[in-house]
């Protein structure tokens, strides 16, 4: 399931993506994207940053030969003020703080928000883990 349509920018430790909520989206129910769907969109935006930030020069961003795994380990704060309707475009922003890094594991604090038509729909602070390993 892909919950990011376009990577708008990766600037330093900030990432911006967009996603159009389609009727066949796994997380769409009764014409709206669920809370879990918005959180998954935020997590995938974070994962894009983590992949982008930690690739080696000349590497492709997405490589099926790699066994990269990104997971949310902790959600410290979560505030959801509205659920987007099908047909709505999400603009998702993350700010990342690297907490720990080794050859195969990165731990980051992520602050993120999802904006819909200029209004904040979701605010979250979470810890993400990225396991990077050659297959």
Q: Which residue has the higher pLDDT, 42 or 105?
A: 42
Other Cβ atoms closer than 10 A to 130: 21
Report pLDDT for 135: 44
Q: Would the pLDDT of 83 be above 80?
A: yes
Report pLDDT for 115: 98
Report pLDDT for 86: 97
The token pair at 61 is: 């961003």
Report pLDDT for 59: 55
Q: Output the DSSP codes for 67-82.
A: --EEEEEEEEEEEE--
Rg (CA), the chain: 15
State pTM to two decimals: 0.84
Return the H-helix or E-strand segment holding 101: strand 89-101
Report pLDDT for 131: 77
């Amino acid at each position: 399931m892909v919950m990011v349509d376009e990577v708008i920018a990766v600037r330093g430790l900030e990432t911006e993506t967009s996603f159009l909520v389609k009727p066949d989206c796994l997380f769409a129910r009764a014409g709206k994207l669920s809370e879990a769907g918005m959180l998954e969109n935020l997590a995938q935006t974070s994962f894009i940053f983590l992949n982008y930030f930690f690739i080696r020069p000349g590497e492709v961003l997405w490589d099926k030969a790699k066994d990269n795994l990104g997971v949310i380990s902790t959600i410290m704060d979560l505030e959801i003020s509205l659920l987007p309707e099908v047909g709505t475009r999400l603009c998702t922003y993350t700010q990342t703080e690297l907490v720990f890094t080794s050859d195969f594991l990165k731990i980051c604090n992520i602050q993120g928000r999802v904006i819909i038509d200029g209004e904040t729909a979701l605010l979250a602070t979470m810890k993400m883990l990225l396991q990077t390993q050659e297959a």
